[in-house]
Amino acid sequence: MSWLAVVAALYLCLASAGAAERSPWFEDGRPGAQARQAVELLAAAADQGLDPRDYAAQDLQLAVARAAQGAAPGSVAAHRLELALGEATRRYLEDLHLGRVDEGPAPRSAIDARRRAFDAGAYLEAALQAHRLAEAAREAAPQLPLYEQLREQLARCRALVGDPAWAQALPPLPAARRGHGGRVAPGEPYAGLEMLARRLVAWGDLAPGPSDDAPRAPPTAPLYTGPIVDAVRTFQQRHGLGGDGVIGSATYAQLQVPPAARVRQIELMLERLRRVPAMEGPRLIVVNLPEFMLRAYEIDAGRVVVREEMKVIVGKALDTRTPLFDAEMRYIEFSPYWNVPRSIVRRELLPRLRRDPAYFDREGFEFVAPDGRALASISRVRLDELDAGRLRLRQRPGPRNALGDVKFVFPNRDSIYLHHTPATALFARDRRDFSHGCIRVERPVALARFVLRDMPEWTPGRIEQAMAAGRSTTVPLARPVPVLLAYGTALVKGGRIQFYADVYGLDRRLDAALREHAASRPRLEFRS
């Protein structure tokens, strides 16, 4: 027996016992305004990045239309339709508000708490009683500006699916010559200029030619010059690829991605936003790992404003990925010690110190005994004790300290924190996954000023003095600042869509989880 038959039988038993109440879905024996609103919401589920098939949208839309125009349905048929509308709309609201699969950054405890706080059935019942189903659906969606911006971009990307600009692959990049290969620099010839121009016009990076659908004609000689170079620079900037105008392998790969793949990328980002915790305090720090960027937000007169923005370096994609989670920053350490994690000691530093004992003094290391004593000299015996775990290794504050001059601490089970770094040259790279998992920040003074805003005694001068002091100082924050380590490969900036590489493969994992969820979930069906 199907789920619908079981629920219908139960409903009819209750109705026969006198428990039935006036239907919120029917008016004078026919589907009313709320039934029509429900099927409209379900049919438009794709606008939210959801799948209308998960909610029997087409079947229910047809059933409601038939019931509204044909003979009034009998009591059994009406009850079946009511139950189907209720279950499909409840599922839709739950998916819209909570998401469909459990994928970070929220920990399991937070996910369970959110599910307890949002009873989709009760939420639907209240909306129907108040005759505000459409408004309730809008309120169930993430109340984030980015969510609405991405929905608009989703519609634009869908309009490009099937565009003839992607009917064929771009011609390959020229073979190696003059010491480089697989790239096209400004001023050089390229056989794919016409197709390239069409794609750039479709994405809005290049202005169209004289007619609405014709791109600018490439030069008579097939040279990569002029407006098309500027358009490629814009395209690169939207894809986290700098903006030098040179079409290399990374730019070529992004130019080849079809609109259908971008549609899915936006859908995945909409799904992730359903799991983002609400901004409850006056300030929030968000690190977007695929973008390699940190933004510090503040609520000003009811508006969320970006106060600081800076580059970051995150964990290596191959083996030391930075995890996703949210926590509260509770203190800052100026001129910090670096307590070297045992994994780094065993894998990197212990072999290095055995080969080159002078590295110990050169880099400012010291051993720490179980009783807390600092041991400032190296010996073979102490290296053996370090290997056995009887000693710890730490690096003293100073110009060579791996944490730089300041460390921002938000206690978490993964021992991840934000910190400065002496290796500032790495911030010039487009792709910045170089760390062991912790996050290096480009502008530590600016971040410290933002975090210490509630403590006016910490002036910019005092912050810089503490960073350069060479003595470790811990400063508890007057008010904790929430920190969110997020994963977004599709964003909107200045009204333009931005795409970033799936550096940790989490888009692929989320896509697979959603497909598995759809395949294993009982499919809602309705046959009138």
Instruction: Give the list of residues 6+ apart from residue 10 with CB closer than 8 angstroms, or none.
Output: none
What is the rounded distance in angstroms from the CA atom of residue 327 to the CA atom of residue 469?
Answer: 28
Nearest Cα neighbor of 35 from 78, 3, 4, 95 is 78
Q: Please say whether the beta carbons of 482 and 279 come within 8 A.
A: yes
**CA-angle at 30, arms to 28 and 35, nearest 5°:** 115
Instruction: Give the list of residues 6+ apart from residue 401 with CB closer than 8 angstroms, or none.
Output: 336, 337, 338, 364, 395, 422
Q: Is 186 exposed, middle or buried (0-12, 13-18, 19+ CB in 10 A)?
A: middle
Active-site residue (options: 419, 420, 436, 517): 419
Residue 143: how many CB atoms within 10 A of its CB? 11
What is the rounded distance in angstroms from the CA atom of residue 378 to the CA atom of residue 398?
Answer: 19
Containing 507, the helix (H) or strand (E) segment is helix 506-520
Q: Which two tokens stand for residue 99?
A: 């998401």
**Residue 419 falls in the annotated catalytic set:** yes
Report DSSP state, residue 172.
P
Nearest Cα neighbor of 515 from 105, 100, 103, 48 is 100
Active-site residue (options: 97, 239, 420, 438): 438
Report DSSP state, residue 364.
T
Count the helix, strand and coil residues of the chain and give each as a percent rounded to the nearest 5.
45, 20, 40
Nearest Cα neighbor of 170 from 189, 196, 197, 190 is 196
Pairing mode of beta strands 293-300, 283-288: antiparallel
What is the rounded distance in angstroms from the CA atom of residue 383 to the CA atom of residue 396?
Answer: 18
Q: Please say whether the beta carbons of 485 and 293 come within 8 A.
A: no
Collapsed DSSP state (helix, strand, coil) of residue 315: strand
Residues taking part in catalysis: 419, 438
